[in-house]
Amino acid sequence: MFERFTTELREVVMGAQRVASDEGSANVDPLHLLTSLARHAGVLTTLGCPADELADDLRRVRRRGGMSDADVEALSGFGIDVEHIVERVEQTHGPGALTGGQRGGRGHRPFTQDAKKVLEKSLREAIEVGSKRIEGEHLLLALTALPGVAADVLAQRGIDYLAVRRLVEQREAS
């Protein structure tokens, strides 16, 4: 599959490894792929999502242990203040205690099952639109198609499967 990746998408996948390493995560997950996609590919900007704003959203989600804004809002309806809980955890265990890893060791990080599903889905999306190469927009299609925090974060920015699919079809037609 990786031989079908464009140079840009290879950079995104390698960048996801670096993001996971920088965050001290043991594995590469879909949020790492999305973070790297925002840094290395212009497809999000084309859809009206500035990379720096998305990066802020993703940092907030990571700090909360993977809880999207929608999760936080739902819990607040039950009187649960997630931000307060995160602050208390960080006071006790240090900054970034809920990020899921410890800073340190560089090197290869294996992909989680969810991240593998995203990469496999990006291949299927590329095939479905008749592309011989897998590009950043195919990865974005996969991230929006599969349920999870990455799709939630993108949806809050108005980026869903149909919006990305329209962009891909427009590019394929021209």
* Residue 21's CATH number: 1.10.1780.10
Which pLDDT does position 32 carry in this prediction?
95
Could you tell me the pLDDT band of residue 106, with boundaries at 50, 70 and 90?
low
Which pLDDT does position 42 carry in this prediction?
84
Which pLDDT does position 104 carry in this prediction?
47
Report if residue 157 sits inside a domain. yes
Residue numbers of the domain that contains 39: 2-62+110-173
Number of structural domains the chain divides into: 1
Report if residue 162 sits inside a domain. yes
Which pLDDT does position 3 carry in this prediction?
83
Per-residue pLDDT at 102 exceeds 70: no
Report if residue 131 sits inside a domain. yes
Please report how many Cα atoms fall inside a 13 Å half-sphere around the Cα of residue 51, on the Cβ side. Answer: 12
Report if residue 146 sits inside a domain. yes
Which pLDDT does position 153 carry in this prediction?
94
Which pLDDT does position 103 carry in this prediction?
47
